[in-house]
Amino acid sequence: MRRRQMNKAHQIDDAAFGVVYGSITVLALLMAMHLPIERPGRQALVLFVAVFAVVLAKAYAELCERVLRTGDAATWADMRDVWLHSRTVLIAANGPSLAFFLAAIGFIESATAFVLAQVLAIGLLAFFGARIGWRVSGRLFGAIIGACVTSGAAALLSLLKFLAH
């Protein structure tokens, strides 16, 4: 059982780069949205597709870097590896896109979807910040500091949206 738990923890740690990068991307995209959001279904699609485009760009850039570093042509295995590393960025788009989808079907208001999308993105950053703090210090205090630092930085990004408008 301990080995299985370590494997899950390792998978979470491996996803950190993508999820953190994706969450920051989601927050940046949310900053570009203007309230009131009149077509939340379109926003859900735009949000997810924009993050998917970032995933493809990241994978392609990583593949280019790999080819330049090794001097070897890219193989299917190389493409699979960079996709597996890049796809975790999409995790960050799922919750916020779902929030806008829920608004599109009338389950929640568009303004609520907007706030929920921000909370979900900041929450993911807080989770990984706590994970980092725990891994570095092995203490609850370190996890709390890590969560506060990453979610605080994300909250400042979100605040910029309101200050800019």
> Which tens digit of pLDDT belongs to each residue from 82-120?
898 888 888 899 999 999 999 999 999 999 999 999 999
Give residue 68's Cα distance to chain centre: 28
pTM of the predicted model, to two decimals? Answer: 0.79
Residue 149 lies in a domain: no
Residue 73 lies in a domain: yes
Confidence of residue 165 (pLDDT cuts 50, 70, 90): low
| pLDDT given at position 10 | 62
Give how many domains the chain has, as a whole number.
Answer: 1
| pLDDT given at position 76 | 93
Q: Work out the angle between the directed axes of helices 110-137 and 2-32 (0-180°, nearest 10).
A: 140
Residue 113 lies in a domain: yes
d(CA 109, CA 102): 8
Average pLDDT estimate for 6-18: 66
Confidence of residue 17 (pLDDT cuts 50, 70, 90): confident
Residue 141 lies in a domain: no
Residue 162 lies in a domain: no
- Say which range, 30-34, 45-49, 113-117, has the weakest mean pLDDT: 30-34
Torsion of CA 78, 79, 85, 91, to 10 degrees: -170
Structure tokens at 144: 């709390």
Pairs from 113-120 (Cβ < 8 Å, separation ≥ 24): 113/37, 113/40, 113/43, 114/30, 114/33, 114/35, 114/37, 117/26, 117/30, 117/47, 118/27, 118/30, 118/158, 120/95, 120/96
Residue 103 lies in a domain: yes
Residue 26 lies in a domain: yes
Domain region containing 87: 2-120
